[in-house]
């Protein structure tokens, strides 16, 4: 693959103070000293992962996608240019601002700014979350995942799959065209969905501890920021909820996402309705609040089967005594395949 992970997320805002309070208090990120109209935040050993920039207008945002080294970055730039995509090789000042060795920038078919880089810098000090959390699942999997809405879904798919090297994990065809794509073992680092205009729906950050997601939910409820209630997705098995940010997109707080294995084959989905919960998710995909006399939004049918094992990291669980007929039946069925 060309792209290896989502390295950073950059968002423009006129609400620097609101974003600072949100990143520290709601997300638990560590603030980094940055001057002027820019605030940076850590979520692991990298010098920065989330950057809010008062020098950009509200709604401007872009991702920095990480590649292995200078050779890989040059090869990506050449592939983009051969496909007719204008590529800018950013000056050293920009790379320093991104805490990277080299950076290139370009536009996707929807006009979104995209950056690619190598040589992400490691901080000298350990990550210290702003509130008591066990940390985030990042490392080689990167920041998390993002969901983007785009009018020209076929052009976007060609761009991210064929030029940037994303692989399809699973998908739905018309009338709901939706592609989940991976670049590492995370089930998806990017999902693209067809919509009437280009916009970002959400950024997902995955916590190590389910309790930390629950505590985030308590905070979000107190702040009246819950946009989508607790639930569990059927494709990446993520247990999560979605929180409103000071900008016009959401942040999904997740736990227990599944991994994809080498040689993964794309799976066609019949439904993306959650196993349970996530009330408000499909309403949030719309272009604004429905009129008062609009009929209730029909729920997406739940997938079958409507159970899946929890995805846990070794050591982050305690085994219980006793038997579980459902799980024993699942194991017997898997052995018979």
Q: Would the pLDDT of 200 be above 80?
A: yes
Task: State pLDDT tens for residues 60-78.
Answer: 999 999 999 999 999 999 9
Q: Would the pLDDT of 295 be above 90?
A: no
Task: State pLDDT tens for residues 92-119.
Answer: 999 999 999 999 999 999 999 999 999 9
Higher pLDDT, 287 or 259: 259
Q: Would the pLDDT of 215 be above 80?
A: yes
Place of tokens 């990550």: 127
Q: Would the pLDDT of 7 be above 80?
A: yes
Confidence of residue 289 (pLDDT cuts 50, 70, 90): low
Higher pLDDT, 261 or 307: 261
What is the per-residue burial (b if ≥16 Cβ within 10 Å, else e) of 102-126? bbbbbbbbbebebbbbbbbeeeeee
Is residue 322 packed enough to be buried (19+ CB in 10 Å), middle (13-18) or exposed (0-12)? Answer: exposed
What is the pLDDT, as a whole number, of residue 329? 80
**285 within 8 A of 190, measured Cβ to Cβ:** no
Task: State pLDDT tens for residues 297-311.
Answer: 556 666 776 788 899
Task: State pLDDT tens for residues 135-165.
Answer: 999 999 999 999 999 999 999 999 999 999 9
């Amino acid at each position: 693959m060309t792209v290896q992970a989502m390295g950073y997320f950059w968002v423009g805002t006129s609400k620097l103070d609101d974003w600072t309070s949100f990143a520290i208090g709601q997300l638990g990120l560590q603030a980094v000293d940055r001057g002027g109209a820019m605030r940076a935040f850590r979520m692991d050993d990298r010098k920065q992962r989330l950057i809010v920039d008062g020098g950009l207008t509200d709604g401007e945002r872009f991702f920095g996608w990480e590649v292995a080294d200078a050779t890989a970055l040059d090869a990506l730039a050449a592939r983009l240019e051969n496909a007719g995509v204008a590529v800018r090789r950013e000056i050293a000042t920009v790379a320093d601002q991104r805490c990277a060795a080299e950076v290139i920038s370009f536009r996707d078919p929807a006009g979104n700014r995209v950056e690619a880089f190598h040589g992400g810098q490691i901080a000298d000090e350990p990550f210290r979350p702003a509130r008591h959390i066990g940390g985030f699942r990042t490392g080689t999997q990167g920041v998390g995942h993002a969901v983007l809405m785009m009018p020209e879904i076929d052009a976007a798919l060609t761009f991210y799959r064929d030029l940037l090297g994303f692989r399809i994990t699973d998908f739905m065809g018309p009338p709901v065209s939706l592609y989940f794509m991976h670049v590492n073992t995370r089930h998806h680092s990017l999902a693209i969905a067809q919509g009437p205009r280009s916009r970002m729906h959400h950024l997902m950050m995955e916590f190590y501890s389910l309790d930390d997601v629950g505590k985030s939910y308590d905070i979000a409820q107190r702040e009246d920021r819950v946009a989508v209630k607790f639930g569990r997705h059927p494709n990446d098995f993520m247990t999560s909820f979605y929180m409103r940010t000071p900008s016009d997109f959401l942040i999904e707080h997740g736990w227990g996402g599944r991994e994809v294995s080498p040689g993964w084959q794309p799976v066609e989905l019949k439904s993306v309705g959650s196993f349970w919960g996530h009330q408000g998710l499909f309403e949030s995909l719309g272009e604004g609040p429905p009129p008062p006399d609009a009929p209730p939004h029909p729920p997406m049918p739940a997938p079958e089967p409507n159970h899946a094992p929890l995805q846990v990291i070794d050591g982050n669980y305690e085994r219980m005594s006793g038997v579980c007929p459902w799980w024993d039946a699942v194991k017997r069925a898997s052995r018979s395949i």
